Amino acid sequence: MTQMPMGAVPKKKEEKMKLFRKPNKNLFRQMKKNYSAYLFLLPKLILFTLFVAIPVVWAFILSFQKYKVFGSEFIGLKNYIEVFQSDAFWIALKNTLLFTVVTVPFGVISALVLSTLIFELGKLSQSLFRSAFYLPTVTSMVIIAMVWRWMYNYDFGLFNYVLGWFGVGPVNWLGQSNTALWALIIMQCLIPFGVGIIMYLASMGSISQSLYEAARMDGASKFKQWIHITIPLLKPTTLYLVLLSTIGSFQVFTQIIMMTGGGPGSATETLVHLIYKTGFRDFDFGLAGAQSVVLFVIILIFSVIQFRVLRHDE
Amino acid sequence: MKKKPLDRLNKFIIFALLSIFAVVSLLPLYWVFSTSLQLSSYQSMDMERPVSYVDSNPPKMYPMGIPLYFEHWKGEREAKKAGDAELEAYHQAQMDHIVSNTFGSFKSLFKKHDVGKWFFNSLYIAVVVTVGILLIDSMAGYVLAKKRFPGRNLIFWIIISTMMIPGQVTLVPLFIMVGNLNLMDTHWALILPDLSMVFGVFLMRQFMYSIPDELLEAAKMDGASEWRTFWTVVLPLAKPGLAALGIFTFMNVWNSFLWPIIVLNTAELYTLPVGLKTLQDANLASFKLLMSGAAVAAIPMIIVFILFQRYFVQGLTLGGVKE
């Protein structure tokens, strides 16, 4: 078991205590002895420091500054006040929230249902459907957005044509402010959540069959087994998927810039698109920095809430 | 266990249901290819004006060039039999037109637009980053999993904690930094930040735990240097992990969009996704051309997916394992 990650935990504590007790000489001796380990880490550490660590710290500093090429000045919370006082931010937040609140549950639940159905089938059909549902996930969102813009075309689009079968008249999906956001939401819902399906299938495979046999003995129906055995045991996977897709959903951007540009008006403005516009169209770096810190905090809050709600009941 | 007929019926219903969903989910991808090969101008003898099957209502569900080509091919043979040279020439001309029109948008993509260059840029950047990440992250993951040295846990937790921070937070500082380093509008501006992604360190560390310590000890006994041990013992054992990480890195870099549109301004340097955006901005309504561009960008990922499907599944389930 010592090779497992879990086994490393007690050793970690031991090590720390040693560091505190023994004088620094020992520390240096240990570092010297293990110099090759540091050399192995060096490339990643340099890259990480330059392009991750420094920018992260800098982002927080920037959000309190008015950026100028030579000598930025600290302006306290002014950027944050401007963020919260602008209508654009609240509209973007509202749109992003609506997008998330609809697409995340839909994606996760549909992945659960689809993988339950797939799991019932034989090995060959399983891998066939797994591929069919995962393939759209490996395709770039740029491509998916381009083809959906074409499918949403008012005159010749596939979407209006199919709706016509059901007697729904042609709709200018992306061109009207009351349908544009919903068009993006529908599109997101119709892209299968491939990651979810693969992970659910893997987790379902690791549930012990004896549980189901016991339930069958007690005369529980398939549906009851699903509700009382499968779903509770998949909870860790569900938590992971909800977190993953919420984080992804808060960062929705590619569809926006490729399909609507945030319009019409600001009907499809989202947080990341707003950050992009503020930072790289208006070049207001301080304000964009503050917006991105706010985005980070929102994602963090959501993650913590979801973690609290969905984690194992103890 | 014996199969009940009801079971078989159930399975059939499930199969049918899933097939419908699968068709819906694959339809957009099909539509990319179908539109890219759709006939955009065609005029037969009995038509007054040429028609476009791209802009047609109701939409044509498959490239119309296929049945029309077949028709003219039959017509040509009949004309030959009847000895009507004029008619034969007409059918031949139509067939040539259908072929050149069907594939015409691909030709113009590579001739008039820089798609060939964008494709090459995307490919070489993705390959460079993937190879770099595999080497750098497996080195880091190896020592973080297998060596004990002061600061090991601190380094690991600092690196991992940044996985929680969304990429947009660092956009502006990275932009300023890339400007200061004089890397703006170069491929280094894409490669260096991509090489700094931390997910691989996490993944490789998880993977390296499963390598038995005894093998490393044995290599040490034989007098192998640290680097030799890593190169000849550790890396071969980590192959499945490397494959998974490699594929995900390649996919992420190939599809990456937000950062490249910020730092790239020169058409020659564009990657495919950036190029496709400018292509769309300049040809908003030429859907055949746009879908051809989309097809060019989609094909490599589809091939990679079909070839390495196994590792996609492996990578996802590995990455999801939380300590």
Supply the mean pLDDT for chain B: 88
When pLDDT is cut at 50, 70 and 90, the band that residue A6 belongs to is very low
Q: Which helix (H) or strand (E) holds B135?
A: helix B115-146
Dig out the tokens for A30 from the structure.
């240990």
| Greatest pairwise CA separation for chain B in angstroms | 91
Q: Is residue B200 a contact partner of residue B133, using CB atoms and an 8 Å limit?
A: yes
Q: Note every long-range contact of A129-133, with CB atoms under 8 Å and residues 24 or more positions apart, other chains counting.
A: A129/B18, A129/B22, A130/A197, A130/A198, A130/A201, A130/B313, A131/B305, A131/B309, A132/B22, A132/B25, A132/B26, A133/A192, A133/A194, A133/A197, A133/B21, A133/B22, A133/B25
Q: Which residues of B touch A292 (CB under 8 A)?
A: 166, 168-169, 171-172
- Residue B121: what pLDDT? 95
Say if B159 is an interface residue toward chain A (CB within 8 Å). yes
Pick from B203, B211, B227: nearest CA to B141:
B203
- Residue A306: what pLDDT? 84
Q: Measured between CB atoms, which of A5, A47, A121 is closest to B15?
A: A121
CATH topology of domain B115-320: MetI-like fold (1.10.3720)
Residue with tokens 């401007």: A82
Top mean pLDDT of B119-128, B170-179, B225-234 is at: B119-128
For chain B, where do the domains classified as CATH 1.10.3720.10 start and end? 115-320
Q: Which residues of A touch B25 (CB under 8 A)?
A: 132-133, 136, 190-192
Pick from A290, A302, A297, A287: nearest CA to A249:
A302
Q: Is residue A159 a contact partner of residue A173, using CB atoms and an 8 Å limit?
A: yes
* B 11-70 residues inside an 8 A Cβ radius of A: 11, 14-15, 17-18, 21-22, 24-29, 31-32, 35, 54-59
Dig out the tokens for B128 from the structure.
């460079």
| DSSP-assigned beta bridge partners for residue A73 | A66
Interface touch B258/A140, C-beta < 8 Å: no
Tens digit of pLDDT for each residue in A138-178?
Answer: 899 999 999 999 999 988 888 889 888 898 878 899 989 99
Q: What's the rounded mean pLDDT across residues B83-98? A: 88
CA angle B59/B55/A260 to nearest 5° reads 95
- Residue B322: what pLDDT? 37
Omega cis (within 30) before B300: no
- Residue A144: what pLDDT? 95
Q: What's the rounded mean pLDDT across residues B306-314? A: 83
- In this prediction the ipTM stands at 0.88
When pLDDT is cut at 50, 70 and 90, the band that residue A205 belongs to is confident
CA B299 – CA A109 distance, rounded (Å): 30
**Between A313 and A128, residue with greater pLDDT:** A128
Query: Which residue from B minimizes the CA distance to A250?
Result: B166
Interface touch A132/B323, C-beta < 8 Å: no
Torsions phi, psi for A130 (to 5 deg): -55, -45
CA B103 – CA A126 distance, rounded (Å): 36
When pLDDT is cut at 50, 70 and 90, the band that residue A191 belongs to is very high
Interface touch B251/A250, C-beta < 8 Å: no
Statement: residue A14 has pLDDT above 70: no
CA B93 – CA B30 distance, rounded (Å): 29
Angle between helices B239-255 and B199-208 (to 10 degrees): 170
Statement: residue A253 has pLDDT above 90: yes
Tens digit of pLDDT for each residue in B206-243?
Answer: 888 888 888 888 888 888 888 888 898 889 888 888 98
**Ramachandran category for residue A67: left, alpha or beta (phi over 0 → left; psi -120 to 50 → alpha):** beta
Statement: residue A23 has pLDDT above 70: no
**Between A5 and A43, residue with greater pLDDT:** A43
CA distance B67 to chain A (A): 21
Q: Measured between CB atoms, which of B140, B251, B305 is closest to A41?
A: B140
CA distance A240 to chain B (A): 7
Statement: residue A29 has pLDDT above 60: yes
Output the CA–CA distances (angstroms, integers) from residue A165 to A160, A170, A179, B29, B63, in the order listed.
Answer: 9, 11, 20, 22, 22
pLDDT over 90 percentage in chain B: 40
Tens digit of pLDDT for each residue in A53-108?
Answer: 999 998 888 889 887 777 777 888 888 998 899 999 999 999 999 999 999 999 99
Interface touch A237/B320, C-beta < 8 Å: yes
Q: Which residues of B touch A19 (CB under 8 A)?
A: 150
pLDDT over 70 percentage in chain B: 96
Least confident of A24-28, B155-159, B249-253: A24-28
Q: DSSP character for B284? A: T
Query: Which residue from B minimizes the CA distance to A200?
Result: B317
Domains of chain A: 11-62 (no CATH), 82-310 (1.10.3720.10)
**What b/e readout covers A99-119, taking b as 16+ CB neighbours within 10 angstroms?**
bbebbbebbbebbbebbbbbe
Question: Is the dihedral angle over the CA atoms B9, B15, B21, B24 positive or is it negative?
Answer: negative
